[in-house]
Amino acid sequence: MKSILKGGALLATFIFLAALPAHADSGATYDFQLSGPVSATWTMSENPTPFFVEEGTAFAVDVPDLSMDGGPVIDDTICFFNLSDGGGLNSVIALPDFYGRQVYMGDEANPTFMTGFYNFTMDDGQTETLCITQAPEPTTILLLFSGLAALGLKRKREAVN
């Protein structure tokens, strides 16, 4: 009986800690993977702070970990364009111009990226695919495991009875 009470108290503490609100700067990131004639990968903060903003048109963000076609990691600047300017993106050093969808919502000074797959067209007519994914926040993972632990305890308890 004591072990059940200890386990219940531990589980309650675990669930309480998991339910605490996440900090605004939780370290969550977006992973970008570009595939097609040009391949590239990079990571960005969940709440990027653009250093250049043209409202209703575009914004630019520094990306310190751009890797293109399996080459070395470089520090680059990526510019994301609103649909009013043709959508798409490009970079200052490595990436060519890609036209197509707008991959963010909100205003350019405070953008939020939309996860998913996006097709873009390059100047030469070739097609590229951009995949944007987001790693789950640590509290989400903690809640998942606490729920699984609670289910496991319930099953164990039912098996004993």
| 152 inside domain | no
Contact between residue 104 and residue 112 where contact means Cβ atoms under 8 Å apart: yes
Asked whether residue 91 is assigned to any structural domain, the reply reads: yes
8 in a structural domain: no
Locus of tokens 């797959």: 117
Residues 19-77 pLDDT 10s: 554 444 456 789 999 999 989 999 998 888 999 999 999 999 999 999 998 888 999 99
Structural domain span for residue 60: 29-134
Domain assignment present for residue 23? The answer is no
47 inside domain = yes
pTM of the model: 0.69
Token readout for 18 is 């998991």
Q: Considering its fold, how many domains does the chain have in total? A: 1
**Residue 71: inside a domain:** yes
Query: Hunting for tokens 């959508």 — which residue is that?
Result: 87
Residue 142 lies in a domain: no
Q: How far is CA 22 from CA 17, 127, 136, 138, 139, in A?
A: 10, 38, 12, 9, 7
Q: Look at residue 114 and tell me if it is in a domain.
A: yes
Interval 94-105 mean pLDDT:
92
